[in-house]
Structure 1
Amino acid sequence: MDNIFEEKHGNQLLKKPQYLFGMLLLMLIIGYVVAKGGMVSGIGILAMPIIVSYVYLIFAIPKTGIIGIYILNFVAIGIVRYVKGVPLGLTIDAQFLLIYLALFFKSFFYKIPWSNAKNDLVLLAAIWYGYALVQMVNPEAASRVAWFYAMRSVSLYMLFTVPLIFILFNKKKDLELLFKIWAILSILGTIKGIFQKNFGVDPFEQAWLDAGNASTHLLFGKLRVFSFYSDAGQFGAAQGHAGVVFLILALNQKRSRQLKIFYIVAGVLGLYGLLISGTRGAIAVPVMGFALYTVLRKQIKVVALGAIMGISLLVFFKYTTIAQGNPTVRRMRTAFDPNNPSLLVRLENQRKLKSYLASRPLGGGIGSAGNWGLRFTPNTFLARTPTDSWYVMIWAEQGIVGLMLHLFILFYILSKSVYIIMFKLKDEEIKAMMSALVSGLFGIMAASYGNGVLGQMPTGLLIYSSMAYLFLGKKLEEENIALNSKEQLELSQSNK
């Protein structure tokens, strides 16, 4: 039997020429890769063991991939400001593909509930993506590469996300986990925004502003806070979304005082993040979100209180000059001014688009407008005409046909969700969760008229997930009722 104490370990192996030569060769290869590829390549090499372990974890526990996507969905754009040349957005696509691949291989050994995805929401997602595929051959489209990049947030992520929720992430505990991840990252987003507001931006964020973003984020010497989001508009809408969802959850939280406080903190900080973003259109998120919630409550007193608060807010911003010295309030007040120069410019751009699109019912092609248009086809009419709004962007790129289809899908989902909550659900806990999700959805739908927020990170994946959970409402209620009955039975038996 060999004596393990006489075996060679660690640095003793380096005394052998083959091991020493191997180590030197590896160091030379790493050095060459870093020299050619720069810091990004070096970080890639250092991260390789983590990436390999994460991929293994996705195949072992596919739910891990969904959690990873939610986290990356929040921070990817912020990281890109610090690490150039890494297509972190595409890593979300890669994770989706890995999860589906993992489920495919697991189906050889375990029963995967693919049939859970047989429903009208998945069908609508497939139809919407099918229309995006038609856009690939739109004769007006100037760039197929732009189509690939732009269609992901417009339709592909919806097609990826919705079935996964039904198949893999379809329990009440999964939704509760999503709420916690969402709340934590939203809180961190506002904290980062507070640092920007009070201490200024760091050198990497300053470089981002200097690259052309200062014109929209430095107004009259005041920074429109953007945190680690793509821009101030997305930050404001996303934080308003969080404010609506978590304050509604807090209002209805009965089981845990700690969780109630946690949701209150997330909700209040969310609304504060909206204010410091200086995004006027984002105010529609809490206004319309809470308005829908008061209707869902089906209580005259609540509806009356909500109406009073809404009217008070309108009067404050539109008909008074209270707190006009505060730059945040002053900027928000311009959202209620019909003669605001920014609004007039938007209306003029829409008139130009109307004339251009009159003979183009399928639009100018996905990726032809906005940032993708400026990147890939900068000299075209659509690239040079700001769309500002999510719906105007859909109209410009996919025509009146695409806009009507998109609006039909959104309002079908909204109306069915409201119907389920008001007339089908009885369990108060699940009803509160669904009310929070649909109110947030409606708020984002409203705000998307003024800003292009609905499909952008992190809002897009959260909205698509919300849609799936809203259609799972009845299933979650049955699960919760069964769980509560079991707990009550165990409690009664323990008291005997």
Structure 2
Amino acid sequence: MGLIALPFVALYLIWVFNKPVRALYTVLYTGFFANGMIRYSTAPFGLSIDVFLLITLIAALAKPQKGRSALLKNPFVYAIAVWTAFTVFEIINPEARSFAAWFYSVRGTALYMMQLIILTILLIDDKKGMLKFVNIWIFCSALAAVWGMKQLYLGVNHAEQMWLDAGAYKTHLLFGRLRVFSFYSDAGQFGAAMGHVLLICLILSLGPVKRKFKLGYLALSVFFFWAMAVSGTRGALFVPLSGFMVYLFLTKNFKILSIGIAVVGILFGLLKFTNVGAGNYQVQRMRSALDPNDPSLQVRLDNQKKFAAYLKSRPIGGGIGSAGSWGQRFSPGTFLAETPTDSWYVKIWAETGIVGLWIHLGMIITIAVTGTVMIFRMKNDLHLRQISMALFSGYIGIAFASYSNQVIGQAPSGIVVFMSLGLIWLAYKWDKAAQLMDTNEIKQ
């Protein structure tokens, strides 16, 4: 098999070294399918992202573009670099039980973030590349939603049934109903990803595009909303809600923002204080997300109290890879491995302590503030600004949703989010260059 594959590998390498950005798009495609492929084989598909990132990096270094490295001097890269440096420092954490656990976990915790934003900035050099990224994202998401529809109405296949039987049924079969997970790692990731792309399509439909594109984006928004609902992921609801509020703020139309807040308030009131849609299972799941007495929420809060007591004497945490699935694999039986973190931020807190949590939150806040300023300053290309607002709103939405699930550290959400940040910075620079060009023409 290796000999048969060899010529195809050689052709692929020639293809990507001729144009390194192709390798970056390969990483994007791989992010959507790698986790699902694990159900069909024992091959380490999770490491395929690392392999393609390495190929992308080598190709980018082998064919550098003059002046591109200067674009890496920006607040996004600096903020992520500080966080990445801290995660490297965590190697010497005296509480850490396993270097192997750190190696496997740090990839999604920091290294992917750093590599993706740098490679995006170095390799995508125009608006066409930005649109290609968005189109690949929407296309793969639509495939995932269609596969989810197949699971719901036609049933899961043998490999998916084996995965459910191995233990996933405990969280994916509730009251006899399947929480759709498509070819993603789980229903939580699928739901958040659908909420994410729903938000993107909705915002793009409101931009300066032709009528046929507006209708297409709106239709996709409805389809992705359905996909988000059948995932049964309650936290996914906060991706489009929080993200759309950010979008309305970025438009600087505070009248529309007030209307948007009122609409969200009405939706909140219908879910919180009425029984509207009580006969629909998906509506019931969404409504339970707003119930402070929800049993699963109470379990999470109890676990957080346990973490608080444990971490009181551990300011830099128990070491990266000590909690969650990596903890169960490399240090089973320990407190951090056996206590569910659920939230991305609780995971960061457990593994890097209060010091690491504040550094991580500092990174997110820095990106949020500087991204807002950049978009406010974009004035030349309204379509480019609309895409940037969509990508930035999606980042904020995923950051909010990561309080209940670890979506920002998983593929494909983590990949599209940090590629999005690189593209927002590039869009800002392109718009700034266009403004400067227009100013020079006026002077002449």
Query: 1:288-437, aligned counterparts within 5 Å?
Result: 288-437=242-391
Whether 1:106 and 2:63 are equivalent positions in the alignment is yes
Q: Secondary structure at the match of 1:230?
A: coil
Give the letter for the 1:245 counterpart. I
Query: 1:420-459, aligned counterparts within 5 Å?
Result: 420-459=374-413
Rounded to whole Å, the distance in 1 between the matches of 2:72 and 2:240 is 31
Rounded to whole Å, the distance in 1 between the matches of 2:375 and 2:160 is 43
Rounded to whole Å, the distance in 2 between the matches of 1:484 and 1:281 is 45
Deviates more, 1:440-449 or 1:47-56: 47-56
Rounded to whole Å, the distance in 2 between the matches of 1:428 and 1:111 is 28
Rounded to whole Å, the distance in 2 between the matches of 1:401 and 1:247 is 37
Match of 2:31 in 1: 73
Structure 1 residue 89 displacement after superposition: 2.0
Deviates more, 1:123-132 or 1:194-203: 123-132
Structure 1 residue 126 displacement after superposition: 2.0
Match of 1:14 in 2: none
CA distance 1:97–1:86, shift in 2 (3 Å): same
Q: Any conservation in 2 of the 1:162–1:468 contact (CA below 8 Å)?
A: yes
Whether 1:474 and 2:428 are equivalent positions in the alignment is yes
Match of 1:63 in 2: 21
State the Cα deviation string for residues 201-230 of structure 1 (Å, max 9, x = none): 111000111111110100111111000110
Structure 1 residue 295 displacement after superposition: 1.4
Q: Any conservation in 2 of the 1:106–1:112 contact (CA below 8 Å)?
A: no
Structure 1 residue 333 displacement after superposition: 0.8
Structure 1 residue 125 displacement after superposition: 2.2
Match of 2:147 in 1: 192
Rounded to whole Å, the distance in 2 between the matches of 1:268 and 1:182 is 16
Whether 1:161 and 2:116 are equivalent positions in the alignment is yes
State the Cα deviation string for residues 441-491 of structure 1 (Å, max 9, x = none): 111111111111111100001111111122223223246679999xxxxxx
Rounded to whole Å, the distance in 1 between the matches of 2:10 and 2:217 is 35
Q: Any conservation in 1 of the 2:34–2:46 contact (CA below 8 Å)?
A: yes
Structure 1 residue 137 displacement after superposition: 1.4
Rounded to whole Å, the distance in 2 between the matches of 1:270 and 1:80 is 24
Deviates more, 1:149-158 or 1:93-102: 93-102
Rounded to whole Å, the distance in 1 between the matches of 2:329 and 2:4 is 31
Whether 1:128 and 2:86 are equivalent positions in the alignment is no
Q: Any conservation in 2 of the 1:117–1:163 contact (CA below 8 Å)?
A: yes
Match of 1:90 in 2: 47
Give the letter for the 1:63 counterpart. V
Rounded to whole Å, the distance in 1 between the matches of 2:249 and 2:94 is 45
Q: Secondary structure at the match of 2:112?
A: helix
Rounded to whole Å, the distance in 1 between the matches of 2:21 and 2:174 is 43
Rounded to whole Å, the distance in 1 between the matches of 2:63 and 2:87 is 30
Q: Any conservation in 2 of the 1:236–1:282 contact (CA below 8 Å)?
A: yes
Query: Can you give the 5+ residue segments of structure 2 that lack an aligned partner in the other structure?
Result: 440-444
Q: Secondary structure at the match of 1:77?
A: helix
Structure 1 residue 168 displacement after superposition: 1.1
Structure 1 residue 147 displacement after superposition: 0.8
Structure 1 residue 308 displacement after superposition: 1.9
Give the letter for the 1:238 counterpart. A
Rounded to whole Å, the distance in 2 between the matches of 1:119 and 1:478 is 14
Rounded to whole Å, the distance in 1 between the matches of 2:249 and 2:63 is 44
Rounded to whole Å, the distance in 2 between the matches of 1:319 and 1:484 is 53
Query: Can you give the 5+ residue segments of structure 1 that lack an aligned partner in the other structure?
Result: 1-41, 486-496
TM-score, normalised on structure 1? 0.85
State the Cα deviation string for residues 270-310 of structure 1 (Å, max 9, x = none): 22211010000111101101111111122233112201210
Identity level (%) = 43
Give the letter for the 2:45 counterpart. L
Q: Which has the higher contact order (CA 8 A, sep 6+)?
A: 2
Match of 1:275 in 2: 229
State the Cα deviation string for residues 173-219 of structure 1 (Å, max 9, x = none): 11100000001011111111111111111110001111111101001
Query: 1:143-292, aligned counterparts within 5 Å?
Result: 143-254=98-209, 256-292=210-246
Rounded to whole Å, the distance in 2 between the matches of 1:414 and 1:55 is 37
State the Cα deviation string for residues 226-262 of structure 1 (Å, max 9, x = none): 00110000000011000111110111142x3443343
Q: Any conservation in 2 of the 1:247–1:263 contact (CA below 8 Å)?
A: yes
Match of 2:442 in 1: none
Structure 1 residue 106 displacement after superposition: 2.6
Rounded to whole Å, the distance in 1 between the matches of 2:150 and 2:11 is 34
Give the letter for the 1:88 counterpart. F
Match of 1:13 in 2: none
Give the letter for the 2:333 counterpart. N
Give the letter for the 1:74 counterpart. F
Match of 1:23 in 2: none
TM-score, normalised on structure 2? 0.94
CA RMSD of aligned residues (A): 1.9
Give the letter for the 1:399 counterpart. G
Give the letter for the 2:141 counterpart. S
Give the letter for the 2:122 counterpart. I
Give the letter for the 2:120 counterpart. I
How many residues in Structure 1 have an aligned counterpart in Structure 2? 439
Give the letter for the 1:72 counterpart. T
Structure 1 residue 426 displacement after superposition: 4.6
Match of 1:141 in 2: 96
Rounded to whole Å, the distance in 1 between the matches of 2:296 and 2:81 is 37
Rg larger for: 1
Rounded to whole Å, the distance in 2 between the matches of 1:483 and 1:326 is 55
Q: Any conservation in 2 of the 1:184–1:266 contact (CA below 8 Å)?
A: no
Rounded to whole Å, the distance in 2 between the matches of 1:175 and 1:459 is 17
